């Protein structure tokens, strides 16, 4: 039987701003349509952020998520994964409110504090529709994305009763060791869904040796107790996805992580990126996982046990 690869699609995120691409979903209608389209294209998991529909700013209020979650659930069987990353300037209590309210099957959880440099994008993007966009990028020169041990433990304990499992986002080797610490303490349970992130300034780079190093380290720390996935930022998205799929991993794509579909060409939709990575996966002789298969692989509680 062919290896099954879980495709996660992150549809909007907090890194890119509305001026960077006309295809970035901002309103609830756009986010719902993008999520449904990505699921129809083959994504088993949909990773969701919300935005203010007027300004495009990241919005971590439960009300913002409530505007699109029911529509997504009604239209697709995909696993819904809510961000607890929010935006780097938000505190952990704000960031986990959507998950506390809606009790999703999966929530993201960042596994360490880090510099989070977005300001190099100012070299590419010069004109902005909203004043906050330039400030958002410029201020990242002096930004620490806070994810202390106390913050991580708070999120784990607060969401424990919801039956929510986690996409553990690891931007560097130390984040894998942080996760191992919580595993040793019994605060997280296998199978761990480990999302290794490459190409963000402040985290590990996108070189193939970096990908192999993170995989080797995770193998040593977690053995058979985890499922590995990769996220390549920007132009690194597809090359890293291809490499990881060939190495037995799972993949994440979406306009949160990259606005591009090829050199100098903006992706027209999240679904376009899902179709492209699916083509890569199937070209390697592999198969994509269905939502039901992803639930089984990650030991999720099921879409009938969420609160939306």
For 194-253, what is each residue's pLDDT tens digit? 999 999 999 999 999 999 999 999 999 999 999 999 999 999 999 999 999 999 999 999
List the beta bridge partners of residue 203: 201
Range of the structural domain that residue 234 is part of = 4-305
- pLDDT of 2 above 70: no
- Model pTM score: 0.97
| Distance, CA of 67 to CA of 101 (rounded, Å) | 13
pLDDT of 3 reads 79
Total structural domains in the chain? 1
CATH code of the domain containing 175: 3.20.20.70
pLDDT tens column, 69-78: 999 999 999 9
């Amino acid at each position: 039987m062919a290896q099954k690869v879980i495709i996660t699609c992150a549809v909007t995120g907090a890194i890119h701003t509305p001026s960077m691409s006309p295809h970035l979903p901002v309103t609830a209608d756009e986010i719902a349509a993008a999520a449904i389209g990505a699921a129809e294209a083959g994504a088993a998991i949909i990773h969701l952020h919300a935005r203010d529909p007027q300004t495009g700013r990241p919005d971590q209020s439960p009300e913002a998520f409530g505007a699109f979650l029911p529509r997504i659930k009604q239209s697709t069987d995909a696993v819904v994964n809510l961000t607890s990353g929010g935006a780097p300037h938000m505190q952990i209590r704000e960031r986990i409110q959507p998950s506390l309210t809606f009790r999703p099957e999966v929530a993201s959880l960042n596994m360490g504090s880090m510099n989070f440099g977005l300001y190099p994008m100012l070299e590419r993007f010069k004109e902005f529709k909203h004043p906050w966009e330039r400030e958002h990028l410029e201020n990242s020169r002096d930004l620490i994305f806070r994810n202390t041990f106390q913050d991580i433990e708070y999120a784990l304990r607060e969401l424990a009763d919801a039956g929510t499992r986690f996409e553990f986002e690891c931007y560097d080797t130390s984040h894998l060791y942080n996760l191992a610490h919580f595993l040793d303490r019994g605060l997280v349970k296998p199978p761990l869904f480990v999302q290794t992130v490459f190409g963000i300034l402040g985290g590990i780079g996108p070189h193939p040796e970096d990908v192999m190093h993170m995989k080797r380290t995770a193998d040593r720390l977690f053995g058979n107790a985890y499922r590995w996935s990769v996220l390549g930022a920007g132009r690194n998205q597809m090359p890293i996805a291809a490499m990881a799929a060939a190495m037995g991993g799972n993949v994440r794509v979406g306009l949160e992580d990259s606005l591009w579909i090829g050199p100098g060409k903006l992706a027209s939709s999240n679904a376009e990126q899902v179709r492209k990575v699916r083509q890569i996966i199937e070209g390697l002789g592999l198969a994509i996982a269905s939502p039901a298969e992803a639930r089984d692989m990650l030991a999720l509680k099921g879409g009938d046990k969420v609160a939306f």
